[in-house]
């Protein structure tokens, strides 16, 4: 063998002997009903969120980041499946007495990562089905679970049910009634313990907080915020994020861990009268910010939420990105980061954002569909958004809907309907909306 061939063979053998790159750890921090403007780094004037602000400073902060739906259950469907909730078969909320849940044919991100050797844990609000047990987190890809099975208001006097709100560990209740004031702290303790116990192998931690969904409560940080009880709740979540990030630094896991912070929908500003029971107050529902709309509708305030992603060494710091992105995109993005192929037997609505997070390319997402349950109400393409919906519009019964067309770059508050000035564009986008509704079997508002 000549010298060149020998060197080539030696290099090839050395390359073959190198261990495969370690797959990254993944952490999702998922707030409940936290609005676009509830964090300091998104403009709140009095709530202080130094840990999440630092997380944004050390990574990327999206300013056009969308939850998959404007309320709880379908938003979680989109995050964990990478598919629009109507495609995944669960576009509506579940309750304490619901049977079944996210179809068992759906593959959650946890299942996909678990099959690749990840340790997985869910801590917090599940809300994807609990009856029968085959819909519990421990049957959907999570090795272990600690949390409440649905929203923290799904008990009397807020909801008519005889099913108690209970805190579960894996498949069994461990606390009733639930002490909600300490939930965030206890969830954080569980998260830190899970990270420490699994420091030597890849892990996926999914932490969907119970709050700031009403009824809000706090404990150790009670009375600390100038923004009152709601501010205390947000600042407690910020403390939680800080404890998790501190643990990663202490264990030397920073450079191999992607952490994403998101919310499931906008603030519950239009809450029903049933929620103003006990100590709840209208100002316990978050900051309106500049966005029109709120939880439950398809104006921007219903679905545009905080979206922060941090991964030192992989995601450059101090990025602020106005491109369209969504919780739908986390499934394919995580798969790309972990060098895992997407399952080939289904369509994914999410796109791989990894090059965008790395500052190498614009977001590949150029459009987004806004669903309310199984009704397709709006569509964004680039800077423009068309909306065709009666819900939350000042219309009398039977009065025809006037399409709305907004330029979200210069009018993010959706104040100026430009449909009449841009009918050709508006009609073209409405045609795309109707075509996708027909493809998915969605309803159109009328």
Q: Which residue has the tokens 């309310």?
A: 372
| Token duo for residue 437 | 């509704």
Helix (H, G, I), strand (E, B) or coil at 64: strand
The backbone region for 364, taken as left when phi is positive above 0, alpha when psi lies in -120 to 50, beta otherwise, is alpha
Handedness of CA 433, 404, 328, 74 (dihedral sign): negative
Tally the C-alpha atoms within 13 A of residue 243's C-alpha that lie toward its C-beta. Answer: 20
Measured in whole angstroms, how far is the alpha carbon of residue 412 from the centre of its chain?
Answer: 21
The backbone region for 100, taken as left when phi is positive above 0, alpha when psi lies in -120 to 50, beta otherwise, is left
d(CA 143, CA 79): 19
Peptide bond into 157 cis (omega under 30): yes
Q: Is 15 exposed, middle or buried (0-12, 13-18, 19+ CB in 10 A)?
A: exposed
d(CA 335, CA 118): 12
d(CA 199, CA 193): 10
Task: Specify the DSSP element, H or E, that contains 76.
Answer: helix 72-81
Q: Residue 221: name the closest of 251, 257, 185, 254 by CA.
A: 185
Q: What is the DSSP string of 194-248?
A: HHHHTTTS-EEEEEE---SSSSP--STTTT--TTHHHHHHHHHHHHHHHHHHHHH
Active site residue 388: no
Among 72, 112, 284, 388, the one annotated catalytic: 72
* Cα angle: 405, vertex 410, 412; to 5 degrees: 70
Among 41, 44, 112, 127, the one annotated catalytic: 127
Q: What is the DSSP string of 139-192?
A: GTT-SEEEEESS-TT-STTTS--SSPP-EEETTEEEESS--GGGHHHHHHHHHH
Active site residue 335: no
Largest interatomic CA distance in the chain = 88
Q: Residue 135: name the closest of 90, 177, 92 by CA.
A: 90
Supply the residues annotated as catalytic: 72, 127
């Amino acid at each position: 063998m000549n010298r060149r061939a020998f060197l080539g063979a030696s290099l090839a053998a050395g390359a073959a002997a190198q261990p495969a790159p370690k797959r990254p750890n993944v952490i999702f921090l998922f707030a409940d009903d936290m609005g676009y403007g509830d964090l300091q780094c998104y403009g709140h004037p009095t709530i202080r969120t130094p840990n999440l602000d630092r997380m944004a400073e050390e990574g990327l902060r999206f300013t056009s980041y969308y939850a998959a739906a404007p309320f709880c259950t379908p938003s979680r469907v989109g995050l964990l499946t990478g598919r629009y909730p109507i495609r995944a078969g669960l576009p509506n909320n579940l309750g304490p007495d619901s049977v079944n849940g996210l179809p068992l044919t759906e593959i959650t991100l946890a299942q996909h990562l678990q099959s690749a050797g990840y340790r997985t844990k869910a801590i917090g609000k599940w809300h994807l089905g609990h009856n029968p047990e085959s819909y519990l987190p421990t049957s959907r890809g999570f090795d272990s679970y600690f949390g409440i099975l649905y929203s923290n208001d799904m008990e009397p006097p807020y909801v008519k049910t005889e099913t108690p709100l209970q805190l579960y560990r894996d498949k069994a209740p461990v606390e009733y009634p639930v002490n909600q004031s300490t939930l965030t702290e206890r969830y954080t303790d569980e998260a830190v313990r899970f990270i420490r116990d699994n420091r030597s192998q890849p892990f996926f931690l999914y932490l969907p907080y119970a709050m700031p969904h009403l009824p809000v409560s706090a404990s150790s940080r009670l009375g600390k915020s100038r923004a009152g009880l709601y501010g205390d709740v947000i600042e407690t979540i910020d403390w939680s994020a800080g404890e998790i990030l501190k643990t990663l630094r202490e264990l030397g896991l920073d450079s191999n861990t992607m952490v994403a912070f998101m919310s499931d929908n906008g603030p519950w500003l239009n809450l029903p009268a049933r929620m103003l029971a006990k100590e709840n107050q209208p100002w316990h529902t978050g900051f309106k910010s500049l966005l029109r709309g709120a939880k439950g509708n398809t104006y921007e305030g219903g679905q545009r939420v905080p979206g922060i992603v941090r991964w030192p060494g992989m995601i450059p710091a101090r990025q602020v990105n106005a491109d369209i992105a969504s919780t739908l995109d986390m499934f394919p993005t995580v798969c790309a980061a972990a060098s895992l192929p997407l399952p080939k037997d289904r369509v994914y609505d999410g796109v791989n954002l990894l090059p965008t997070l790395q500052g190498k390319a614009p977001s590949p997402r150029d459009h987004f569909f806004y669903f309310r349950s199984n009704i397709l109400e709006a569509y964004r393409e680039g800077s423009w958004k068309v909306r065709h919906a009666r819900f939350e519009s000042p219309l009398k019964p039977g009065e025809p809907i006037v399409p709305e067309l907004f330029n979200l770059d210069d009018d993010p508050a959706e104040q100026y309907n430009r449909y009449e000035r841009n009918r050709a564009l508006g009609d073209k986008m409405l045609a795309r909306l109707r075509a996708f509704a027909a493809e998915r079997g969605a309803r159109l508002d009328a």
